[in-house]
Structure 1
Amino acid sequence: MFRALSYRNYRLFFVGQGISLIGTWMQQIALSWLVYRLTDSVFLLGAVTFCNQVPAFLLGPIAGVASDKFNRHRTLIITQALSMVQASTLAALVLTDQIQVWHILSLSAFLGTVNAFDISARQAFVIEMVEKREDVSNAIALNSSMFNMARLVGPSIAGILIALVGEGMCFLLNAVSYVAVIGSLLLMRLKFVERVKQERKVWASLTEGFSYAFGFAPIRALLLIVAQLSLFGMPFSVLMPVFARDILHGGANTLGYLMGASGVGALIGALFLAQRKSVLGMGKLIVFTMLLFGFGLMAFALSEVLLVSLVCMFVSGFGMIVSMASCNTLLQTIVEDDKRGRVMSLYSMAFMGMAPFGSMLAGAVAEHIGVAYTLVGCGFLVAISIVPFAFNLAKLRKLVHPIYQRLGIIPEIATGLQSASNLTAPPEER
C-alpha cells in the first residue's frame, strides 16, 4: 500500500506537502466562513471560489506548455513561495481588521493564477520522483490519501481556531506551513532530466497538446468525467457554510465536522486505491463511485439531522476521491512523457477550471430556489453524467490495453493480456 514511500524524493514530498495541505484546508474553511460572516451572501461564496479557480481554466494550457518546457522542480519552489506570500498577506489583513471583500476576491484570483502553474507542474512531477512506472499509480493514490488526510485534519483544526481566536490565525498558520513543502523540495536529490527542446512556438505546442488529448478517445473520456464531476459535484463545498449554519443550526465547528466527514470518506477511498496492484477494473470502478457520489449528495441535501448529514458526507467523499484519483491514475499511465505536462494541465483545467463555473451557477441558483434543491440537482447531474462513459467502456478498454502491452507500464497487465489474447472470450470478459 505504501511502496511509493520507498523513494527518498517522494517521501520528502509526501511529508512536506502533507503538512502544507493541512494549512491549505484550514485557510479554505476559514475563508468561506469569513466571507459568509461578512456578507451573508451565498452568491459571494461562489464568487470567491470562482476567482480562486477560474485562472486554472484560463491559464491551464499555457501552464501545461511551461511544465513540459521548464524545470518542474524549480517551478514548484517558486509557486509555493508565492502561495506563502498570499497567505501571509491575507493573515495580516484579517489580524489587523483591515480585510474587505475586494481584498479576498483579489487575493483569491492571485492564488488561483499561481495554482494554475503549480498544479500542472506538480501532477507531472510525480513521474520524476518515482523511478519505476509500476509504482506511479500507487504514488498518485498516496497523493490522494495525503490530500484527504489533510482535508480531515485541517477543517477540524480550523473550526476550533475560528471559534476561539477567529479566522486570522488559520491564515497565519497556513503561511507558516509552506516552510515544510519548500524545505522538502530543496532537500530533494533529483536525476538530471534532459528535456526535448521545443522548437515549436507556444501556440503550436498548445495545438499539439489539444490534438493529442482530444484525438484519443480514452483521454478525452477521462477528461470529460473530471470536468463533469467538478462542474456538477464540487459546488457542494461552497454551500457547506449555509448547510452548517442555516439548515443544521450549527457554527464553525459544525462546518468542520461536515468537511471532516467528507475527508474521512475520501481518505478511506484513497487508501482503497493505494492497495490496488493494477489499473484493471478502474473503468467500472469509476462508474460505480460516480453514482455513489451523486446519490450521496442528493441524500445530504435532503437531510436536516447532523448524524445523517455526516454519513452522507462520508459516502460522498469516498465516491468523489475514488472517481477523481482513478481518472488521474489512468491518465498518468497512458499519456506520452513529452506531452505529460500539457495533458495534466487539461486535467487541472477540468478539475479546477470547471469548479468555479459550477460554484457561481450553484450560488446564483441557490439564491432563488434554496441550497437544498440546488444540491439535489447537482447530485442528479453527477449521477447521470457517467452514463455515456458506462455504455462506451468496452470500446475504450480495447483502445487502452495495447498501450500497456507496448510500454509495459504494468507488467502483470501485459502478461494477463498476452494470455487472454489466446482465448476466445469476448472483450468484456478479458
Structure 2
Amino acid sequence: MVIKTNLKFNNPFIALKHKNYRYYWLGMCVSLIGTWMQNIAQPWLAYNLTNSPFLLSLIGALQFTPMLFFSLIAGVFIDKHNKKKIILLTQSLSLVITFILALLVWAGQVQYWHILVSATALGMVNTLDMPARQAFVIEIAGKADLMNAIALNSAVFNAARVIGPALAGIIMEYAGIAFCFLFNSISFAAVIISLLLIKPLTAQSKPKKNAKVLTDIKEGLKYIYKHDILLNSILLMAIIGTFAMNFNVLVPVFAKEILKQKETGFGFLMSFMGIGSFIGALFIASISKPGPNKRFFNILPVAIAIFLIITGITRIYLITGLCLALTGFFFISFSSTVNSTMQLNSKDEYRGRVMSIYSLVFAGSTPLGNLYAGAFTDHFGARTGFGACGAIIILLLIPIYIKAFNKRSRRSINT
C-alpha cells in the first residue's frame, strides 16, 4: 500500500453509515464516559490513600503488566476465535470487577491493595479486550471506511475524556467517589447490548489446524519484521506508548502539588487534554479517505515530546490545560495514524496478532513508563517527571530517524 502525503478532506462521520458500526459506536459512547470517570477517580483515590507518587505509579504498572506478558498469546487466541464473543466476555467481566470495587468504596472499606487487585484484574481482561476490539472494527465498518471508523473510535474516546473527567471531578467533590466506580460498572452494559444487535459484515478467516501457540506467535512476529511499514510503526508506537502515556501518574501530582487544585480542578485539567484529543480525532477522521499521512506519521512524535517538556515548566492553570490539550491533539493524531497504517497493511489472518502487538506497545509498555515517570516525580517532583518523559522520547527517536534518513539516501543514490 502506498501512503498518501496530500490532504483531502471528507465527511468525518462516513463510517456511521454502517448499521453494525453505528450500534457499536453508540454503545462505546456510553461506556467510555464511565471508563474515564473511573480513570480519574482511581488515581485520585489511590493518591489520597497513600500520598505517594510511586505507589500511584505502581497501580498503573500493575494494570498494564498483564498486557506486557500476555498480548502475544491473546493475539493468537483472537485470530482463532469469534471476536464478537470475545468482546462480550471481556465486557461482562469488566462490569463485574468494577462493580465489586464500587461496593468496597461505597461501604468505606476500600484499601490500597483492593485498588491494586482490581487494576490487575482489569488489566488481564483488557489484554484480550483491547486487540479484539481493534481487530473487530474492520468486520463492522469494512476496509474502505476503516481509517474513518478508527478515527471516530478515537473521537468518542476523547469526547468521553472531556465529559468523564469533568463529571468525575464534580461527583467526587459533591456526591462521593463511589458513584464514579458505580457508573463505570453500569456503563459496560451499553456495549454488551450493542454487541447483541451486531451482525459482522465479514466472515472470520479459518485458522490453521493444529497450529501451536508459539508457532503462531513466531509467524506473527516474522510477518511484522518482514514489512518495514509495520515494523517502523511498532517502534515509534513503543516509544510514545511507553513515555507519553503517563498522565495518570503525572497530572494528579502536578495538579495537587504545583497548581494547588482539588478534585474539580484536577478533573477539568484532564478534560483539557480530552478536548485536544477529540479535535485531533475529528481532524484525522476528516482526512481519512486518502489513507494515513506520512508527514504526520514522522512529525507528530516530536511534537508530543516537546509539549510534554513545555507542560512541565508551566505554572498557570489555564496554560497547563492548553499544553495538555495540544499534547492530546498530537497524541491521538499519531495513534490513529499508526493504528490505521497497521490494519490496512495486515492480512486478515494476521490482523489479530498484529493488533495484539500494537496493543502491547500502545498500552502494555505503560508499566515501564509509569514506573519511570513515578520514580522521577517521587524524587524530583512533577515538573521533572514531565521533562524526563519528553526528553527520553526525543533521545530514542534520533537513531530511528537517522536510520530512516540513511535508508532513503541509499535508495535515491541507487535510483
Q: TM-score, normalised by structure 1?
A: 0.89
**In the alignment, does 2:279 pair up with 1:268?**
yes
Equivalent AA in structure 2 for residue 188 of structure 1: I
Distance in 2 (CA, whole Å) between partners of 1:235 and 1:41 is 15
Counterpart residue number, 1:218? 229
Distance in 1 (CA, whole Å) between partners of 2:198 and 2:246 is 36
Structure 2 residue corresponding to 1:42, chosen from 36, 50, 53: 53
Distance in 2 (CA, whole Å) between partners of 1:46 and 1:385 is 22
Q: TM-score, normalised by structure 2?
A: 0.92
**In the alignment, does 2:157 pair up with 1:147?**
yes
Would the alpha carbon gap of residues 218 and 212 (structure 1) be closer, same or farther in structure 2, given more than 3 Å must change?
same
Counterpart residue number, 1:243? 254
What does residue range 187-198 of structure 1 map to in structure 2 within 5 Å? 187-191=197-201, 193-198=203-208
Counterpart residue number, 1:232? 243
Equivalent AA in structure 2 for residue 153 of structure 1: I
Distance in 1 (CA, whole Å) between partners of 2:373 and 2:126 is 23
Counterpart residue number, 1:76? 87
1:394-422 deviations in Å (ceiling 9; x for gaps): 79899xxxxxxxxxxxxxxxxxxxxxxxx
Equivalent AA in structure 1 for residue 170 of structure 2: I
Amino-acid identity (%): 38
Counterpart residue number, 1:319? 330
- 1:42–1:367 CA contact under 8 A, matched in 2: yes
- 1:54–1:112 CA contact under 8 A, matched in 2: yes
1:103-124 deviations in Å (ceiling 9; x for gaps): 1101110000000000111000
- Give the secondary-structure state (helix, strand or coil) at the position aligned to 1:304: coil
- Give the secondary-structure state (helix, strand or coil) at the position aligned to 1:55: helix
Counterpart residue number, 1:330? 341
- 1:244–1:252 CA contact under 8 A, matched in 2: no
1:116-161 deviations in Å (ceiling 9; x for gaps): 0001110000110013x22111111111111111111100100000
Distance in 2 (CA, whole Å) between partners of 1:356 and 1:365 is 14
Structure 1 residue corresponding to 2:141, chosen from 115, 120, 130: 130
Counterpart residue number, 2:9? none
Counterpart residue number, 2:3? none
Distance in 2 (CA, whole Å) between partners of 1:46 and 1:352 is 14
- Give the secondary-structure state (helix, strand or coil) at the position aligned to 2:145: helix
Counterpart residue number, 2:67? 56
1:293-324 deviations in Å (ceiling 9; x for gaps): 11111111111110110111111111111111
Structure 1 residue corresponding to 2:358, chosen from 339, 347, 353: 347
Counterpart residue number, 2:311? 300
- Give the secondary-structure state (helix, strand or coil) at the position aligned to 2:144: helix
Counterpart residue number, 1:174? 184
What does residue range 384-399 of structure 1 map to in structure 2 within 5 Å? 384-391=395-402
Equivalent AA in structure 2 for residue 323 of structure 1: F
Distance in 1 (CA, whole Å) between partners of 2:333 and 2:196 is 31
- 1:231–1:357 CA contact under 8 A, matched in 2: yes
Q: CA deviation at 1:386?
A: 3.3
Number of residue-to-residue matches in the alignment: 400
Unmatched 5+ residue regions in structure 2? 1-11
Greater mean alpha carbon deviation, residues 216-225 or residues 341-350: 216-225
**In the alignment, does 2:193 pair up with 1:164?**
no
- Give the secondary-structure state (helix, strand or coil) at the position aligned to 2:108: coil
Structure 1: 4+ residue segments shifted above 3 A: 277-281, 383-398
Distance in 1 (CA, whole Å) between partners of 2:350 and 2:407 is 20
- 1:283–1:393 CA contact under 8 A, matched in 2: no
Distance in 1 (CA, whole Å) between partners of 2:286 and 2:384 is 37
- 2:165–2:271 CA contact under 8 A, matched in 1: yes
Distance in 2 (CA, whole Å) between partners of 1:230 and 1:370 is 22
Distance in 1 (CA, whole Å) between partners of 2:145 and 2:250 is 37
Superposed CA RMSD in Å reads 1.9
